[in-house]
Amino acid sequence: MTGLNIENLSMRFDLPGGGSVQALKDVSIDLKAGELLSVLGPSGCGKTTLLNIVAGFLAPSGGVMTLNGHKITGPDAERGMVFQQGALFEWMSVRENVGFGPSMKGMPKNEKREIVDHLLDVVGLQDFKEKAVYELSGGMQQRVALARCLANDPDVILMDEPLGALDALTREKMQSLVLKLWKETGKTIILITHSVEEALLLGERLIVMAPRPGRIHKEYRLPFAELGVNADLREVKKHPDFAVKREEILNMIWDMEEEIMGTAEADA
Amino acid sequence: MIILGIYVGIFVASYFIIGKLVSAARGSDYTSLKTVTFGDESTVRPNRWAGIISVLTIFLLWAMFTGSSLIPRFLHAPGPFEGETSFTYTVSANGQTDDATVTAIVHDREEDPDLPEIDPGDGIAKNDIIKVAQWRNQLVQFDRNDEVKRADGAEIIAINGQMVSPGDEVQVNGGSVTISDKGTPNFEPSRGWQMEPLYLPSPEAVVERTWKVANEGFRGTSLFGHLGWSLFRVIAGFVCGAIVGIPLGYAMGLSDWFRGWFDPIVEFMRPVPPLALIPLVIIWAGIGEAGKIILLFLAALWIMAIAARSGVSGVKISKVHAAYSLGASKWQIMRHVIIPNSLPEIFTGARVAMGVCWGTVVAAELVAAEKGAGMMIMVASKFQNTDIVLLGIILIGVIGFGIDMLMRAAERMLVPWKGKG
């Protein structure tokens, strides 16, 4: 049994002042090996909580998660994570950052160097490998983060809005890179984003979540990621279906936001 | 007041003069092109000229008001009177009056000139001669050689022809004469505006004394011995404090039990100035080396513990999460994430701790020590060797500054990622 299996995941925790929060309720996802899933939703819908639970940083209050048949209980090298920003180790050079996972495993030096060199080639940072990470631009830093994650050869890559802090142009380039890496490495990827376009472009599958409690609202299976592997992403966006889906999802999220505002006003 | 006036005068004058001279040589780098400078702190860079003039001004004032031979005479503040002067007094006794002259020889404190013979003159009052050291005063026993004595009712009624009674003061050439309550004139040579060497020795005197102390030592220990002992205590105390404090801080940052256990102690001890511990440490450990090192250990301990603790709590959780999901063990996270991430904080703490230790060691030596920079200035002050006191203060300042510079350089070299996270 391969792939990531999430069954009836719930997350409920008590607040210090009394009362409790239902962050996630009955979330079930079945992800086959090599699938690319993007998770979209308004803020507060529990998407980051979901990712943290899958990564093993949080224990769910209910439900079961298995990866390739065994239960997920804590963080592990089989599930790599790419953070939004600031998760690189600034006391290490680019090369040392990328080689961090292999070093921790005690991999022999020459083997490690091969992996690191290869990945730096893939993300286009071969010329920067001796630089300190704080000397790189935001986009380059995220490439390092991607390479660092891949160097560990995880089964699943979890991305928590990895491109959220980048400018539009860099972001587009990085989106292409993510698709390329997905196709080349065949990794299972879960990508959290708040950008509808990004979710559509990078999601072979797309889950829209709804807040209060965080739950799966709607699920899509999309052709755009497959198209984007070989074509310019701007061409993909011109696809007639793309605009239709974007409108549909935007409206869906608008409705959710309005509902939240409505209840907030009613509360007040 | 005069000194302050001159200081402010030099400050303002040099501002305008340098402003005129240097205005043309404005740089062309990015900051120089900023038009909004008032309120933009980044454009306020210390003016190098102001720095040079500031230091020179301090030495100039010091030299001016101590009559230093390092600067030309015309720059000296008016000095104390030196040489020969005279005033006359008028004695009245039994209805008779007569004038006599007092010749005063004002000499340097280091010298002791012989008094020349003088012509005693006529009349019932005879001329006198006295010698006075600068900055001192001298009672004139005028009736010593007069034909009428005070016991016979002789009394001074005028100085330089000016009528006086006991308690009055008369300005005379080169000083002033005060009539004491018992009617004896007291001559005080004018002090001028310069500082008495006893209170403020001239720069060259301090330099000379520095050489002397450096060559001969002070109280059985060489100058470098004194400074070396102080430095040794600081380093020993600081190293002990760091060896205990840093792991303690890490433990407090990583374990709730340690945090709960030591928080009250650390938070209580932190605001207690190390100087307040001196009496207790002396009671417990005596005035020897152990007591001083314990004191400095206590001074450094809390600072280092707090620095290490905040270094740990300053680790971004995403870095720790990233390391875990890259397969690092707890120990590897400690070694590769938490320690390097906390190093900048620890360096900042170390700089503060070294500064506090240096201040504390001097204070502790002031209280009791056989060797050390603080002991040197304390003993020197008891013997009014102001030059050694000044020398000690200057060296203490220079060393403290040097320590800070070294720590900064080490920080730049060892933790170049500081503030870049």
Task: List pLDDT tens digits, range A137-181.
Answer: 888 888 899 889 888 888 889 998 888 888 888 888 888 888 888
- Answer whether A100 sits within 8 Å of B415, measured CB to CB: no
Residue with tokens 């001279």: B21
Secondary structure of chain B in the HEC alphabet?
Answer: CHHHHHHHHHHHHHHHHHHHHHCCCCCCCCHHHCCCCCCCHHHCCCCHHHHHHHHHHHHHHHHHCCCCCCCCHHHCCCCCCCEEEEEEEEEEECCEEEEEEEEEEEECCCCCCCCCCCCCCCCCCCCEEEEEECCCCEECCHHHCCCCCHHHCCEEEEECCEECCCCCEEEECCEEEEECCCCCEEEEECCCCCCCCCCCCCHHHHHHHHHHHHHHCECCECHHHHHHHHHHHHHHHHHHHHHHHHHHHHHHHHCHHHHHHHHHHHHHHCCCCHHHHHHHHHHHHCCCHHHHHHHHHHHHHHHHHHHHHHHHHCCCHHHHHHHHHCCCCHHHHHHHHHHHHHHHHHHHHHHHHHHHHHHHHHHHHHHCCCCCHHHHHHHHHHCCCHHHHHHHHHHHHHHHHHHHHHHHHHHHHHCCCCCCC
- Note which residues in 316-345 of chain B have CB less than 8 A from chain A: 316, 318-319, 321-329, 332, 336-337, 340-341, 343
Those residues with Cβ within 8 angstroms of residue B140's Cβ, 6 or more apart along the chain or in another chain: B89, B102, B128, B130, B184, B185, B186, B187
Task: List pLDDT tens digits, range A100-145.
Answer: 988 888 888 888 888 888 888 888 888 888 888 888 888 888 889 9
CA of B337: which chain A residue's CA is closest? Answer: A89
- Answer whether A100 sits within 8 Å of B336, measured CB to CB: yes
- To the nearest 10 degrees (0 to 180), the angle between helices B48-64 and B203-216 is 90
Whole-number Å distance between alpha carbons of A102 and A111: 9
Q: Write down the mean pLDDT value for chain A.
A: 84
- Answer whether A90 sits within 8 Å of B323, measured CB to CB: no
CA of A79: which chain B residue's CA is closest? Answer: B325
- Answer whether A104 sits within 8 Å of B324, measured CB to CB: no
pLDDT for the residue B116: 82
For chains A and B, CB pairs below 8 A equal 78
Whole-number Å distance between alpha carbons of A36 and A189: 5
pLDDT for the residue B27: 65
Neighbours of B50 (CB within 10 A): 13
Q: Measured between CB atoms, which of A81, A134, A154 is closest to B322?
A: A81
Q: Measured between CB atoms, which of A80, A86, A105 is closest to B325?
A: A80
Span between the terminal Cα atoms of chain A, in Å: 49
The two structure tokens encoding residue B386 = 């102001």
All residues of chain A having their beta carbon less than 8 Å from the beta carbon of residue B323 are: 89, 100, 104
pLDDT for the residue B25: 57
Per DSSP, the three-state class of A105 is: helix
Neighbours of A147 (CB within 10 A): 27
Neighbours of A97 (CB within 10 A): 26
Question: What is the DSSP secondary structure assignment for residue A126, as one 8-state letter?
Answer: G
- Answer whether B325 sits within 8 Å of A56, measured CB to CB: yes
All residues of chain A having their beta carbon less than 8 Å from the beta carbon of residue B337 are: 89
Q: Measured between CB atoms, which of B327, B416, B420 is closest to A104?
A: B327
- AA identity, residue B116: P
- Answer whether B318 sits within 8 Å of A100, measured CB to CB: no
pLDDT for the residue B183: 82
- Answer whether B421 sits within 8 Å of A90, measured CB to CB: yes
- Answer whether A100 sits within 8 Å of B420, measured CB to CB: no
In this structure, chain B runs to a length of: 421
- Range among A41-45, A243-247, A263-267 rated most confident: A243-247
CA of B327: which chain A residue's CA is closest? Answer: A77
Question: Which residue out of B326, B333, B339, B415 would a mutagenesis test of the A interface target, given it has the greatest number of A Cβ atoms within 10 Å?
Answer: B326
CA of A105: which chain B residue's CA is closest? Answer: B327
Q: Give the start-to-end residue ranges of the domains of chain B.
A: 2-75, 83-189, 204-414
- Answer whether A86 sits within 8 Å of B343, measured CB to CB: no
pLDDT for the residue B249: 94
Question: What is the DSSP secondary structure assignment for residue A107, as one 8-state letter?
Answer: -
Whole-number Å distance between alpha carbons of A128 and B351: 33
Task: List pLDDT tens digits, range A70-103.
Answer: 888 888 888 889 988 878 898 998 888 888 988 8
List A219's β-bridge partners, or say none. A207
Question: What is the DSSP secondary structure assignment for residue A264, as one 8-state letter?
Answer: H
Contact assessment for residue B195 and residue B68, using Cβ atoms and an 8 Å cutoff: no
Those residues with Cβ within 8 angstroms of residue B124's Cβ, 6 or more apart along the chain or in another chain: B91, B93, B96, B98, B146, B147, B148, B154
Question: What is the DSSP secondary structure assignment for residue A218, as one 8-state letter?
Answer: E
Instruction: Indicate if the pLDDT at residue A2 is higher than 80.
Output: no
Question: What is the rounded (10 degree) CA torsion for A119, A125, A126, A127?
Answer: -170
Whole-number Å distance between alpha carbons of B266 and B262: 6
CA of A103: which chain B residue's CA is closest? Answer: B328
How is domain B204-414 classified at the CATH fold level? MetI-like fold (1.10.3720)
ipTM of the complex: 0.89
Neighbours of A169 (CB within 10 A): 9
**pTM of model > 0.90:** no
Question: Which residue out of B317, B318, B321, B325 would a mutagenesis test of the A interface target, given it has the greatest number of A Cβ atoms within 10 Å?
Answer: B325
Whole-number Å distance between alpha carbons of A72 and A5: 10
pLDDT digits (tens), chain B, 421 positions: 888 888 999 899 988 888 888 765 566 777 777 777 788 777 777 888 888 999 999 988 888 888 888 888 888 888 888 888 888 888 888 778 888 888 888 888 778 888 888 888 878 888 888 888 888 888 888 877 887 887 777 888 888 888 888 888 888 888 888 888 888 888 888 888 888 888 888 888 888 888 888 888 888 788 888 889 999 999 999 999 999 999 999 999 999 999 999 999 998 988 898 889 888 988 898 878 888 899 999 999 999 999 999 999 888 888 999 999 888 889 999 999 999 999 999 999 999 999 999 999 988 888 888 888 888 888 888 888 888 898 889 999 999 999 999 999 998 888 888 877 6
